[in-house]
Every structure is written in C-alpha cells, then in structure tokens.
A = this chain, B = another copy of it.
Amino acid sequence: MVSTTTGRHGPETRGRILDAAEALFVEHGLEATSMRMITALAGVNLAAVNYHFGSKENLIQEVFRRRLGELNQRRLAALDQVEADAVRAGVRVKPSQVLEAFFEPSLQMATDLAHGGRIFMQLLGRTYTEPNAFVRKFLAAEYADTLERFLAALYESLPGVPREEILWRFHFMMGATSYAIAGTDALQLFAGKFDDEDPARLIPRLMSFLLGGLRAPLPDFAHSGTAEPGDVR
C-alpha cells in the first residue's frame, strides 16, 4: 500500500528518496537517472521507490510538487500584497512590482542554499524545456492558475500596450530567468568567465535586465527582419 502522507514509521525513507532524486535529476536529467542510482544515493532498497511512490513517473511528479507548491504560493502572496498596497494608495500597480512578485521568489529560492532550494531551481530551470510530454503537461497544470493571475495583473499595469506583446515579453523573461537560475555554466560556455557569482547580486542584476526588456520600445514590423529602432534610449 502506498502511503500518500507519511508512512507510519520508516525513519524518513520517503524524504531521503525525494532528496536523492532531486539531486540526481539536476545532475543527469530525468531519463538518465535510474531507480538504482536514486536508491543507492538515498541508501534504501531498490524496491522502496515503487513501494512509496508507485512508479518513477509518480516520483518525478512528487519531486516537483513538493517545491512548486510553496513557490507559487509565495508568488501569489507577493502579488496579493502589491495589489493591496496599490488599492490602499489609490494607484495602479507598477509593472516592475508584478515582475518582482513573480520572479523574486524563484530567485530567492534559487539562492537559498539552506533548504535545498538551489538544487531544485536548477532542476526547474532545466525542466522548462523538457521534451517528456507528461512532465510538460504536469508542470503546465501546476502553473496554470498562477500564470493566469500574473498575466492579468501585467495587462492591467500596462494599459496602453498590446497584450500580444506583453505575452511575448513575459515568455522571454521566463527564458532569461531560467538561464540565470540554471547556472552560469549551463552550457559551460561561460565557464571561468564570471568573476563574481555572488548569488545575492544575481537578483538585482536579473531584475534590471528584465525591467529593461519589458519597457523596451515596441517592435517595428515595418521592414522585414532587421529591427533597428534607430535611436538609443
């Protein structure tokens, strides 16, 4: 029988498996991480995963669900706060506030060495482009409500701007954030090039970049490929 909450006893086998799986998924990817690797690292029997989680797919979902729930709750709480403040002050929410409510919690989590959040956020960054269909579907479902609320808030904060453009730019911002989180050596392209990898500085760095991208002049579709807005700033 699979215990969905905590097994009656069994010291903390479930947790050990989740932690081991999380770390190995980051290092090798979902497919390339075998049950034997997970159980070996966790120091439990091979059959323990199927006993506690039923299948590898269920384990993967559980690894994500454990962290993603808290992440999106923090995001929504931050947005609630921002919107409440705006109502109280009788002003419109600023786009930068919406962005911060969405992206800061993930960056906080990514730079939080204590709670293993850093490992998870690297995994999440990679998984955004995961080809595996069931993983994508699952993540999309987990994200749906949060994304809906943030897009609505962003639309409202930018009344003049076509929603089409806002949507695209949010998409771009998720990409930039994903890279920022996945690590400076994601592709080892930048290996050895960064002098300063202080994670505390990553947040203002990325936020400046995202805000600059969001506020950029709208594209000019007049001429085909080369979009050169002409003036700088």
Contact = CB atoms under 8 A, between A and B. Distances in A.
Interface of A: 26-29, 31-32, 94-96, 100, 104, 107-108, 125-126, 128-132, 136-137, 139-140, 143-144, 147, 151, 164-165, 167-169, 171-180, 182, 184, 186-191, 193-196, 200-201, 203-221, 224-229, 232-233
Interface of A is mostly: helix
How many copies of this chain does one complex carry?
A: 2
24 contacts: A108-B225, A126-B131, A128-B179, A129-B186, A139-B189, A140-B188, A140-B189, A144-B189, A147-B189, A165-B205, A168-B205, A168-B206, A168-B209, A171-B180, A172-B180, A174-B189, A175-B179, A176-B179, A208-B217, A208-B219, A209-B216, A211-B216, A212-B212, A213-B216
Contacts of A143: 187, 189
